[in-house]
Chain A
Amino acid sequence: MTRIETVICIGCPMGCEIKLTVGAKGEITKISGNRCKEGKSYAPQEYKNPVRILTATVKTANSSRPLLPVRSARPILKRLLLPSMPVLAGITVTAPVRVGDVVVPNLLDTGVDVIATGELLS
């Protein structure tokens, strides 16, 4: 049994709809619809392991700024984006915070930290 999966390439404004033929064991047997090489390497990776950088904010305590912007230090699985939000909602940071400081270590056991992308001066 094979099935067809579609991935839209974000490599250029063309946005090719790339069709992946996937075999019974999840192996990719055919790639079509890409207009250039870039899509050929992007599509299988985006299909097997779609990851994204999570960007959001957390609350602050002793600062004139109500929020501190944060990100996942590395991309995390796409399906973990929404489940990460309640974790961040439970966090309040206290100044001083510098860019790159860890705000949440090991987010949802991904091994990826959430880090500050902005500064909070005390």
Chain B
Amino acid sequence: MNLHEIDVAVIGSGPAGMAAAVRAKETGAKNVVILERAEELGGLLHQCVHNGFGLFYFHEDLTGPEYAHRFIEKTMDAGVRPMLETMALNISPDREITAVSNKNQFLKFRPESIVLAMGCRERSRGALNIPGTRPAGVFTAGTAQRFINVEGFLPGRQVVILGSGDIGMIMARRLTLEGARVEAVVEVLPYVGGLIRNEVQCLHDFDIPLFLKHTVTNIYGERRVEGVRVAEVDSRMNPIGGTERDIACDTLLLSVGLIPENELSLTAGVELDPVTGGPFVDGARQTTVPGIFAGGNVVHVHDLVDNVTWESEIAGESAARFAMGERIPAWAGIKLKAGRNIRYVVPHTISGNEDVTLYMRVREPEQNVRINVGDIAGKSELIVKPSSMLKIELTSEQLKKLGKNVTEVVIDCQKWGGK
């Protein structure tokens, strides 16, 4: 394949990138490539050796590597060309990609359309400002996951985990199985950050203590972590004097959130939503730059891979249609506005004449609520939590009820019965 004949270029080969590339091919794009900086396709799935992947997409309980394997086969069968060990360095607003690779050195090419599928990265200690010394033994949960599951090293023997995100809880179980002792999982919020399934199967199953409304206020140790100081926090998340206690440990893992990885998007002039940290996208997953689409964790951080796949299939299909000459006005249509207790809604705009699935997160946990999409649709929920993404499917029939001149629809989370 000649570099100058590429129709769709996908950046990143995790679940988002593979789904987008396969769908682009299926939609009819001829030359589809995936740029992947690692040596193999699959992205982070390879280090997520636990199960819970694909329950909705495949109706099977797969591990990360198995989910990757299924999609690697689909990618190869579809005739997508992987460009491995190739790292995109820059994308210009007119879609010229600059990349470096081991095999081809320096590349410059301009595909007809691009799908951003770079995923997300972990918030690190620097972003948290924990006081104390700077010893070895402080890792993000994902780094520890790579050490244990891919490289074959145990990062420590006595561990405290700050943050109760899914990766943190999953690492609590992994570390315990591998013979380390997890002293505590410390969560600043009054509720667990990850899925209930992980709280039960990773923490309760192994009697790992969970301290809600607590945080780490100090790290001890010169060369290696020797302990951390943990304190209860008040409602404004400030440590409460007199509640401090020290926990001896040689390792501190951070599982305190994920951030969409958008350095490349910025080089292309793609506008980012300060709430999600990802590009503004329309229903077709087109960003504010025509011909540049995005899907998966680069748009907003998901809790289930199945949704990453579905969302990226939309991006892949749209990118193929664009490459074949169809023009979708960039980021136009009806604006979706996050209303009461809604932190964000993706996509940010919809055309109003196609079936669409809305993804959203709430700001605060609430019980017995109804999520209203303007006055055309709604969904009741017993409970909503920031950690669980909500999904509402709208049909074009329902959307017709909006009428012609509507430019904005508010999504509200209302106490059940109230309005």
User: A residues within 8 Å of B by Cβ?
Assistant: 8, 10, 12-15, 35-36, 52-53, 55-57, 59, 65-67, 69-71, 78, 81-82, 85, 99, 117-119
Contact = CB atoms under 8 A, between A and B. Distances in A.
Nearest to A11: B196
A70 B49 CA distance: 8
A12 B66 contact: no
| Residue picked from A70, A85, A99, most chain B C-beta under 10 Å | A99
A19 to B, nearest CB: 16
A57 B49 contact: yes
14 contacts: A8-B196, A10-B201, A12-B382, A14-B382, A55-B50, A65-B150, A67-B149, A70-B49, A99-B65, A99-B66, A99-B69, A117-B66, A118-B69, A119-B69
A73 to B, nearest CB: 11
B384 A13 contact: yes
Given A13-B383, A57-B49, A99-B66, A85 B178 contact: yes
B197 interface: yes
Contacts of B200: 8, 10, 15
Nearest to A85: B177
B41 to A, nearest CB: 12
A69 B61 CA distance: 15
A21 B384 CA distance: 29
B199 interface: yes
A78 B206 CA distance: 10
Given A56-B49, A69-B63, A36 B382 contact: yes
A117 to B, nearest CB: 5
A69 to B, nearest CB: 4
Given A69-B63, A99-B66, A118-B69, A10 B196 contact: yes
Interface in B184-202: 195-197, 199-201
Contacts of A66: 150-152
Interface string B359-386: 0000000000000000000000011110
B49 A53 contact: no
Contacts of A8: 196, 199-200, 204
B179 interface: yes
Interface residues of B, number: 34
Given A55-B49, A78-B205, A15 B65 contact: no
A60 B181 CA distance: 25
B177 A12 contact: no
A13 B385 contact: yes
Contacts of B178: 56, 85
Nearest to A50: B205
Contacts of A65: 150
Contact of A85 (B64, B66, B152, B179): B179
Given A36-B382, A59-B152, A66-B151, A10 B197 contact: yes
Contacts of B64: 69
Rank and list the top 8 A-B pairs by shortest CB-CB distance, nearest first: A66-B152, A69-B49, A118-B65, A15-B196, A13-B388, A10-B197, A14-B383, A117-B63
Nearest to A15: B196
A82 B179 CA distance: 9
Nearest to B367: A14
Contact of A118 (B46, B152, B388): B46
A36 B382 CA distance: 10
Contact of A57 (B51, B149, B195, B205): B149
B382 A35 contact: yes
B387 interface: yes
A67 B65 CA distance: 12
Interface string B49-63: 111000000000111
Interface in B247-274: none
B199 A15 contact: yes
A4 B410 CA distance: 46
A84 to B, nearest CB: 9
Nearest to B198: A10
A69 B68 CA distance: 12
Contact of B61 (A13, A53, A118): A53
Contact of A67 (B150, B195, B382): B150
Nearest to A54: B177
Given A56-B178, A69-B65, 16 more contacts: A8-B200, A10-B197, A10-B201, A12-B383, A13-B383, A13-B385, A14-B383, A15-B200, A35-B382, A66-B152, A71-B49, A81-B205, A82-B177, A99-B65, A99-B66, A117-B66
Interface string B127-152: 00000000000000000000011111
| Residue picked from A36, A53, A78, A117, most chain B C-beta under 10 Å | A117
Contacts of B201: 10, 52
Contacts of B388: 13
Contacts of B196: 8, 10, 12-15
